[in-house]
Every structure is written in structure tokens, then in C-alpha cells.
Amino acid sequence: MVESMSHHGSCHCGQFRYRVETELAQVISCNCSICQRKGQLLTFVTPDAFELLSGKESDLTIYQFNKRVISHAFCPVCGISSFGWGTGRDGNKMFSINARCLEDIDLKSLNIVEFDGKSR
């Protein structure tokens, strides 16, 4: 069993910094139209496991499409999508974390699971 750990992440310029509690047991590589283009490796957490340390959600640039249940957020200065949020299947808010934006993570050590978002 993998233990939950505290990780710090940010956009490239550092305007938006955050702390997240996650075990990173697996990350998702999705092939939907936006994820494929961004090349993100995603993990998902509840709001109590996410803390925005600098910047404000309202200052992020948000892109929504299709059913508009996911806020694809990116820094208006450097353009990096380090996290976003949406509504989970249970109707509650959740955060998507781009594991590529977490500090001190060895990407080669991650268990990457393919997700066929293109067919959904």
C-alpha cells in the first residue's frame, strides 16, 4: 500500500504554487483532445487534500468545453496547466493535478495508466 505524501507544485513562473496530499499510486495519461495536446500526467484529489499557497483561483485563465464540468486552468503569465478542478461523478468538487508540475518527482518511477478519454 502506498502512503499519501505532501507534494509541492507550481506553474513555471511560480505565480501559482500549491501543496497537495496524494499517494501518487498511479497517474493517468488520457488521450482526449485536450489532455493529448497538453501531455499531462494526472492524479485527482478532493479539496481537503489541496491547498493553493500563492495566487488566487480567480486569477487563473479558465478554459471549458463540451459539458463544461472541468475547469482547465492555466497561468495567464507562463501558460502552464499545473492543476484544474471539476465535478466528480459523485457531484462533488475535485482537483486534477498535473504530476509533471510537482517538485522532486521522478516521472520514470510513476505507474502510468492509459485512459481512453477520446472514446467518451
- Give the pLDDT confidence of 48-66 residue by residue, as tens digits: 999 999 999 999 999 998 8
Smallest CA-to-CA distance from 81 within 69, 66, 95 is with: 95
Q: Is residue 104 part of a domain?
A: yes
Q: What is the mean pLDDT of residues 72-78?
A: 97
pTM of the predicted model as reported, rounded to 2 decimal places: 0.92
Domain hosting 16: range is 5-115
Domain count, the chain: 1
Helices and strands per DSSP (H, E), number in the chain: 1, 10
- Give the pLDDT confidence of 100-118 residue by residue, as tens digits: 999 989 999 999 999 998 8
Q: Is residue 120 part of a domain?
A: no
Q: Is residue 42 part of a domain?
A: yes
Q: Are 84 and 75 in contact (CB under 8 A)?
A: no
Q: What is the CATH number of the domain that holds 41?
A: 2.170.150.70
Q: Is residue 52 part of a domain?
A: yes
Q: Which three three-digit cell numbers place residue 13?
A: 513562473
The secondary structure element, H or E, covering residue 35 is helix 33-38
Question: Where residue 88 falls among pLDDT bands split at 50, 70, 90?
Answer: confident
